[in-house]
């Protein structure tokens, strides 16, 4: 038994889980082309959820703050991206690939910038007065969520908003009998790029070192003379910006967004963070990929179970590892 | 409802000492509310007011049971509507399947409460060992899955539309509760004593019993241990109380009470659907009510529920007028639109958590209290 587990660990340990699920799904689905389409969809969805979850997880790991208002950044990001794309309709619909991509990048950038600014405001005004008081933190971020959702309704109204998708990213890539939506590839690549950037920033830079040290032991970092509150605000802004970026990508992916989207995604994000373990980027990525893959496979195989499947996954993983698969902090 | 609380030993530890004025005000208000609810069918005879009164009764129980968790023990759960919904759906589905009858209410309600208890035990044992924040996330996920299930299993639950059903004849408006010599419905203070009155008092008395039971729990040694857990978990553990067991126990008790409140709601409403018993909006309502009324004071539940319910009905009217008055200004009319009343309540909620974390009842009770 120990021999098997040591072998498993050498080949990646818990990182093998998505592979195992993909293999199991392959056996159940039986049609390779369908399986590839579903897997790509799952990976793309996972990457977008990863964008939203990583910020939440990092904020929690460093600051011990669980922001229930995180989904507000996601929704605002989605709607700002939609408005930007609508404003740049000429670029989006044009034939020039460069302008197409520029419009999308601009939309994502606008959402991200807004996320960072809103994160700054949120940290200063909402969260700062209630550090180290979990009960009031939960209450106050819920209050902020209510206000943000109502503002969203007041500004954009309750009706679904159509999101124009850039022309280059429309349609699918066809390899053999496998059709892959181009947007999904784009979403996956963007997510991967963000992950690599975060991994690099956390592991190879001085600020990353400080953040990791802060996650592990905040008092010690403070005692060594570093201004941890500045670090806090930076991480909070980055986390919120990532959430808004994820929301913007999600808006383009869905094509039609409603103000309820933040709340719906939030459940997935929470499940991802719980599965992955609070405070770790790797855990968030793993959890997000698992949830994305499972959601797509189950939606195909047993359509009625789709959300319950993620819940089930969470229950099983919690029973196996009460603190998640890759927790950065214990307890 | 709280007329008992004045004489209960826990409310006033030592009757010889001068009772703080704030505490008196809170109890007087609570007593007034309880009396209003007790005679609601005679004081406010119109149909809409009766609906509001019955809703207030059920929500007082629901909010007070939530207060057992958040105020007394310091557990934040978002699954409270899930338990409420289980009780309501259990009763409703059985009433639909077996037809109107008290056996259906008993069995269906019993099954709903049992399901709530089992789920509470599972969730509690699974995740009450870990941090409060973790627990909040797990319950949120569980509640949303229950919501999805209720929406999708439309063969049993009626999906998003919910379903209607019949309740026992005793509770139907056509039933003659008390008849005069001519066989007509007897009128007391001009109010016909029909089945609607019976239904209201069924709900009211059920809520009263549940509320008093909660007062008893809070006053018991267990209630004291729970507060110790809230104040200092490690210390409570060190003294020898098993924190996880106590947490799980109160989580289960609160779930059962919420499910029973759901049974009462289902009997009154003759309809269940995700919007009225299961939605996240109700969870938000409960949270607002607990915090506005005052966490850690059961009496606060009365004040919170009544204020919120009145706000839901009258704040909209005020905002309607304000929106019309500011019609020329950009964006302001949108913000003052009656549909946006939650925006202002949300702001109020944030300010309350900042400045009066004890809520109305808690803050008042501290006034004039000599430490």
Contact A309, A269 (CB under 8 A): no
Residue A241's pLDDT band (cuts 50, 70, 90): very high
Answer whether residue A331 shows pLDDT above 60.
no
* CB-based contact A322 B129, cutoff 8 Å: yes
* CB-based contact A135 B74, cutoff 8 Å: yes
Contact A250, A268 (CB under 8 A): no
Closest CA–CA distance from residue A93 to any residue of chain B (Å): 31
H, E, C per residue of chain B = CCHHHHHCCCCCCCCCCCCCHHHHHHHHHHHHHHHHHHCHHHHCCCHHHHHHHHHHHHHHHHHHHHHHHHHHHCCCCCCHHHHHHHHHHHHHHHHHHHCCCHHHHHHHHHHHHHHHHHHHHHHHHHHCCCCHHHHHHHHHHHHHHHHHHHHHCHHHHCHHHCEECCCCHHHCCCCECCECCCCCECEECCEECEHHHHHHHHHHHHHHHHHHHHHHHHHCHHHHHHHHHHHCHHHHHHHCCCHHHHHHHHHHHHHHHHHHHHHHHHHHHCEECHHHHCCHHHHHHHHHHHHHHCCCCHHHHHHHHHHHHHHHHHHHHHHHHHHHHCCCCCCHHHHCCHHHHHHHHHHHHHHHHHHCCCHHHHHHHHCCCCC
Residue range A257-275, pLDDT digits in tens = 888 888 788 888 888 888 8
* CB-based contact B343 A151, cutoff 8 Å: yes
Q: State which residue of chain B sits closest to A303, comparing Cα positions.
A: B152
Please report the pLDDT score of residue B9 as a whole number: 47
Closest CA–CA distance from residue B134 to any residue of chain A (Å): 8
Q: State which residue of chain B sits closest to A317, comparing Cα positions.
A: B126
- Pick the range with the lowest mean pLDDT from A1-10, A19-28, A98-107, B275-284: A1-10
Q: Is A179 helix (H, G, I), strand (E, B) or coil?
A: strand
Please report the pLDDT score of residue B368 as a whole number: 55
Residue range A16-42, pLDDT digits in tens = 778 888 888 878 777 778 888 888 888
Task: For CA atoms B355, B358, B364, B367, give the dihedral sign.
Answer: negative
Pairing of strands B187-188, A178-181: unpaired
Closest CA–CA distance from residue A236 to any residue of chain B (Å): 18
Please report the pLDDT score of residue B117 as a whole number: 92
Which CATH code is given to the segment(s) B3-11+21-366?
A: 1.10.3470
* Residue A68 per-residue DSSP state: T
Please report the pLDDT score of residue B307 as a whole number: 86
CB atoms within 10 A of CB A175: 10
* CB-based contact A308 B149, cutoff 8 Å: yes
- Partners of B70 on chain A (C-beta within 8 Å) are 135
What is the count of structural domains for chain A?
A: 1
* Nearest C-alpha neighbor of A73 from the set A270, A240, A260: A240
Tell me, what CATH number does A109's domain have?
Answer: 1.10.3470
Mean pLDDT in chain A? 82
User: For residues A277 and B317, what is the distance between their CA atoms, to the nearest angstrom?
Assistant: 47
Residue range A144-166, pLDDT digits in tens = 888 888 888 888 877 888 887 77
Is A125 a member of any domain? yes
A interface toward B at CB cutoff 8 Å? 60, 66, 68, 126, 129-130, 134-136, 138-140, 142-144, 146-147, 150-151, 153-155, 263, 267, 270-271, 273-274, 278, 304, 307-308, 311, 314-315, 318-319, 322-323, 331
* CB-based contact A318 B349, cutoff 8 Å: no
Structure tokens at B33: 């509310």
Of residues A57 and B131, the one with the higher pLDDT is A57
- Partners of B129 on chain A (C-beta within 8 Å) are 322
Please report the pLDDT score of residue B256 as a whole number: 93
Please, what are the averages of pLDDT over each run of 10 residues along chain B (371 residues)? 45 57 81 83 77 88 90 85 90 82 82 90 76 76 81 75 76 68 66 76 90 90 87 87 87 92 87 81 86 84 86 75 72 69 82 81 69 45
* Residue A181 per-residue DSSP state: E
- Partners of A319 on chain B (C-beta within 8 Å) are 126
Domain that holds residue A310: 24-320
Q: State which residue of chain A sits closest to B141, comparing Cα positions.
A: A267
Q: State which residue of chain B sits closest to A321, comparing Cα positions.
A: B126
Domain boundaries, chain B: 3-11+21-366
Q: Which of B82, B135, B350 to mutate to test the interface with A (most CBs of A within 10 A)?
A: B350
Whats the size of chain B, residue-wise? 371
Closest CA–CA distance from residue A241 to any residue of chain B (Å): 22
* CB-based contact B343 A154, cutoff 8 Å: yes
How big is chain A by its Cα radius of gyration, in Å? 20
* CB-based contact B148 A307, cutoff 8 Å: yes
Q: Using CB atoms, which residue from B76, B130, B148 is nearest to A135? A: B76
HSE value, Cβ hemisphere, 13 Å, CA-based, for A252: 34
Q: Using CB atoms, which residue from B126, B152, B280 is nearest to A304? A: B152
Residue range A176-219, pLDDT digits in tens = 777 778 888 888 888 899 999 988 888 888 888 888 888 778 88
Q: Using CB atoms, which residue from A126, A139, A144 is nearest to B291? A: A139
Answer whether residue A329 shows pLDDT above 70.
no
């Amino acid at each position: 038994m120990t021999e098997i587990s040591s072998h498993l660990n050498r080949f990646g340990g818990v990182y093998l889980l998505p592979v195992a699920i993909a293999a199991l799904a392959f056996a159940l689905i039986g049609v390779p082309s369908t399986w590839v389409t579903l897997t790509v969809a799952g990976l793309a969805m996972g990457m977008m959820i990863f964008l939203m979850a990583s910020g939440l997880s990092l904020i929690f790991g460093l600051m011990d703050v669980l922001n229930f208002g995180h989904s507000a950044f996601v929704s605002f990001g989605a709607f700002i991206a939609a408005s930007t794309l609508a404003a740049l309709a000429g670029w989006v619909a044009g034939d020039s690939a460069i302008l197409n991509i520029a419009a999308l990048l601009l939309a994502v950038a606008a959402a991200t910038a807004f996320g960072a600014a809103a994160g700054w405001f949120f940290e200063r005004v909402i969260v700062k007065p209630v550090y180290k008081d979990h009960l009031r933190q939960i209450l106050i971020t819920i209050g902020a969520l209510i206000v943000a959702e109502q503002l969203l309704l007041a500004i954009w109204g309750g009706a679904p908003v159509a999101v124009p998708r850039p022309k280059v990213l429309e349609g699918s890539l066809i390899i053999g009998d496998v059709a892959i939506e181009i947007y999904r590839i784009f979403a996956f690549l963007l997510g991967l790029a963000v992950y690599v950037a975060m991994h690099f920033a956390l592991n190879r830079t001085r600020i990353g070192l400080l953040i990791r040290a802060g996650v592990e032991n905040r008092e010690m970092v403070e005692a060594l003379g570093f201004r941890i509150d500045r670090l806090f605000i930076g991480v909070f802004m980055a986390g919120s910006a990532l959430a808004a970026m994820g929301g913007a990508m999600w808006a383009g992916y869905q094509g039609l967004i409603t103000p309820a989207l933040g709340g719906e995604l939030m459940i997935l994000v929470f499940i991802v963070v719980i599965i992955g373990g609070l405070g770790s980027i790797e855990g968030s990525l793993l959890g997000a990929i698992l949830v994305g893959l499972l959601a797509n496979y189950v939606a195909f195989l047993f359509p009625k179970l789709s959300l319950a499947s993620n819940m089930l996954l969470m229950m099983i993983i919690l029973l196996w590892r009460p603190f998640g698969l890759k927790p950065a902090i214990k307890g | 409802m709280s007329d008992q609380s004045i004489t209960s030993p826990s409310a006033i530890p030592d009757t010889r000492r001068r009772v703080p004025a704030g505490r008196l005000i809170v109890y007087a208000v609570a007593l007034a509310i309880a009396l209003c609810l007790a005679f609601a069918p005679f004081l406010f005879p119109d149909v809409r007011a009766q609906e509001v009164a019955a809703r207030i009764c059920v929500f007082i129980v629901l909010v007070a049971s939530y207060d057992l968790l958040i105020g007394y023990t310091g557990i934040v759960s978002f699954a409270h509507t899930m338990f409420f919904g289980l009780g309501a759906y259990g009763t409703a589905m059985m009433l639909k399947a077996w037809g109107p009858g008290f056996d259906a209410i008993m069995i269906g309600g019993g099954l709903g409460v049992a399901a709530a208890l089992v789920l509470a035990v599972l969730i509690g044992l699974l995740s009450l060992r870990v941090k409060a924040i973790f627990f909040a996330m797990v319950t949120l996920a569980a509640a949303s899955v229950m919501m999805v299930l209720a929406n999708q299993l439309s063969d049993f639950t009626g999906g998003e539309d919910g379903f209607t059903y019949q309740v026992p004849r005793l509770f139907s408006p056509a039933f003659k509760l008390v008849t005069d010599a001519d066989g007509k419905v007897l009128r007391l203070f001009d109010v016909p004593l029909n089945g609607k009155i019976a239904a209201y008092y069924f709900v009211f008395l059920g809520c009263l019993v549940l509320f008093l039971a909660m007062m008893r729990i809070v006053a018991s040694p267990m209630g004291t241990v729970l507060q110790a857990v809230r104040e200092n978990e490690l210390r409570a553990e060190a003294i020898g109380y098993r924190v996880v067991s106590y947490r799980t126990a109160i989580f289960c008790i609160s779930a059962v009470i919420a499910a029973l409140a759901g049974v009462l709601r289902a009997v009154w409403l003759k309809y269940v659907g995700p919007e009225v018993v299961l939605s996240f909006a109700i969870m938000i309502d409960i949270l607002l009510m607990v915090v506005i009324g005052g966490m850690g004071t059961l009496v606060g539940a009365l004040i919170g529920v009544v204020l919120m319910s009145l706000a839901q009905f009258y704040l909209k009217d005020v905002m309607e007028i304000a929106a019309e008055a500011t019609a020329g200004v950009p964006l302001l009319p949108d913000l003052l639109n009656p549909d946006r009343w939650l925006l202002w309540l949300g702001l109020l909620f944030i300010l309350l958590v900042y400045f009066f974390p004890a809520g109305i009842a808690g803050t008042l009770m501290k006034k004039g209290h000599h430490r």
